[in-house]
């Protein structure tokens, strides 16, 4: 492998610093949006509060496959744009730096970023998603993770009401001396209050893993309507109540995204093929974006970089949306799996390479009027 020149190391260093700055900014943005989503699930009872920050960290690991290519793309644009605005590129060009002078460090940087993205997309991302699901599943099996403590009144997230347990077993599955209060608005606007007392209770699951219930044993239930004097009292041997009321979560990741990459290979299921093609295409994203950044970064000295950054973000979103569309086509059988996302990535790469070559192509001098005569 040939040694890197001083210019190669300088350009690579600029790429690295620019990308790190972009990744930090994007990470803050992604953390805010992911935290809001996780906090919403905790507030509605779909996620135990005890594993909130664990799930947040694991979700951020899974988003690196989208964050890293975008950060690398913006970082290269920022670095090259600064060099153009400060006239460094013009000085380097006058010193004999041709197109290959940019292609070499750009290719090295893109290949390094692609290897990191491949590690996340093929192994680390699915592993983080599986670990997150396992943490939530384990936490859902314990009322302790839901915030219930012995001798303390606890609000039931997502369904309203209050629960009190005199004792809680160490594993959080058995409760003693229970008191449950909930309110419900009737159709006519009046409010009904339900009060339940029980000798003991057990936590169990039914249906989806996040559907948690408590089986109350040997107790009484009081139904009270505030606008009437006749209250109703019932005695029961068992009465099941929902610990939380999970709402439908359509944005949950599909089961195929939790599988290992090796298990997807050879699977004839269309969803599995779409997921495999997605994971195989993502590592090539940095190479395509690096090629696209070279012609997009060229600008006049002292010009504003804002417009090009906005165009770059728009171009990235278009590419990602087209890849998502290709994934949907493969999953629905409208597109053969071998076509993958290459029909999106290859034209972008070839088009960016053609524009970059045109920028550095020697220009013919314009003929003067006297010469034409």
What rounded mean pLDDT belongs to the chain? 81
Identify the pLDDT of residue 302.
72
Taking the CA atoms of the chain, what radius of gyration do you get in angstroms? 30
Q: Which residue has the higher pLDDT, 54 or 350?
A: 350
What distance in Å separates the CA atoms of residue 334 and residue 328, rounded to the nearest whole number?
8
Domain boundaries, the chain: 6-140+256-360, 153-242
Lowest mean pLDDT across 17-31, 41-55, 174-188: 41-55
What distance in Å separates the CA atoms of residue 31 and residue 42, rounded to the nearest whole number?
16
Closest among 103, 117, 121 to 23, alpha carbons compared:
117
Q: Is the pLDDT of residue 31 over 80?
A: yes
Lowest mean pLDDT across 29-43, 89-103, 108-122, 149-163: 149-163
Closest among 8, 131, 6 to 61, alpha carbons compared:
131
Closest among 287, 358, 294 to 11, alpha carbons compared:
294
**Cα-Cα-Cα-Cα dihedral sign, residues 240, 244, 250, 254:** negative
Range picked from 39-43, 119-123, 153-157 for highest mean pLDDT? 119-123
Lowest mean pLDDT across 235-239, 262-266, 297-301: 297-301
Lowest mean pLDDT across 6-15, 62-71, 148-157: 148-157
pLDDT tens profile 300-313: 777 777 888 888 89
User: What number is the average pLDDT over the span 300-327?
Assistant: 87
Closest among 174, 176, 180 to 196, alpha carbons compared:
180
Element (DSSP H or E) covering residue 352: helix 342-360
Q: Is the pLDDT of residue 144 over 60?
A: no
CA 87 → CA 98, 106, 109, 226, 302, distances in Å? 15, 19, 22, 78, 9
pTM of the prediction?
Answer: 0.72
pLDDT band at 246 (very low <50, low <70, confident <90, very high): very low
Lowest mean pLDDT across 78-87, 132-141, 183-192, 205-214: 205-214
Q: Which residue has the higher pLDDT, 172 or 62?
A: 62
What distance in Å separates the CA atoms of residue 17 and residue 25, rounded to the nearest whole number?
13
């Amino acid at each position: 492998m040939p040694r890197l020149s001083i210019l190669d190391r300088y350009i690579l260093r600029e790429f690295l610093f620019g990308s790190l700055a972009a990744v930090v900014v994007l990470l803050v943005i992604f953390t805010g949006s992911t935290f809001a989503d996780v906090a919403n699930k905790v507030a509605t009872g779909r996620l135990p509060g005890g594993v909130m920050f664990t799930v947040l960290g694991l979700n951020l690991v899974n988003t690196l496959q989208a964050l890293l290519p975008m950060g690398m793309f913006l970082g290269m644009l920022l670095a090259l744009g600064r060099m153009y605005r400060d006239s460094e590129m013009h000085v380097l060009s006058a010193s004999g730096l041709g197109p290959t002078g940019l292609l070499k460090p750009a290719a090295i940087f893109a290949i390094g970023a692609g290897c990191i993205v491949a590690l996340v997309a093929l192994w680390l991302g699915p592993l983080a998603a599986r670990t997150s699901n396992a943490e939530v599943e384990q936490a859902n099996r314990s009322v302790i993770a839901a915030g219930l403590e012995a001798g303390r009144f606890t609000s039931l997230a997502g369904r309203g009401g209050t629960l009190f347990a005199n004792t809680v077993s160490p594993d959080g599955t058995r409760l003693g001396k229970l008191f449950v209060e909930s309110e419900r608005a009737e159709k006519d606007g009046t409010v009904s209050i339900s009060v339940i007392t029980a000798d003991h209770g057990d936590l169990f699951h039914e249906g989806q893993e996040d559907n948690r219930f408590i089986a109350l044993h040997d107790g009484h239930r009081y139904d009270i309507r505030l606008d009437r004097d006749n209250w109703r009292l019932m005695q029961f041997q068992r009465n099941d109540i929902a610990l939380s009321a999970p709402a439908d979560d359509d944005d949950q990741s599909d089961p195929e995204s939790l599988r290992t990459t090796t298990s997807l290979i050879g699977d004839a299921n269309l969803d599995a093929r779409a997921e495999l093609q997605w994971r195989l295409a993502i590592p090539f994203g940095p190479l395509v974006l690096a090629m696209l950044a070279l012609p997009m970064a060229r600008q006049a000295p002292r010009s504003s970089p804002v417009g090009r950054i906005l165009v770059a973000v728009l171009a990235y979103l278009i590419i990602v949306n087209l890849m998502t569309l290709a994934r949907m086509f493969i999953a629905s059988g409208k597109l053969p799996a071998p076509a993958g996302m290459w029909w999106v990535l290859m034209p972008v790469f070839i088009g960016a390479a053609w524009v970059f070559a045109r920028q550095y192509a020697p220009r013919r001098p314009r003929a003067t009027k006297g010469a034409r005569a």
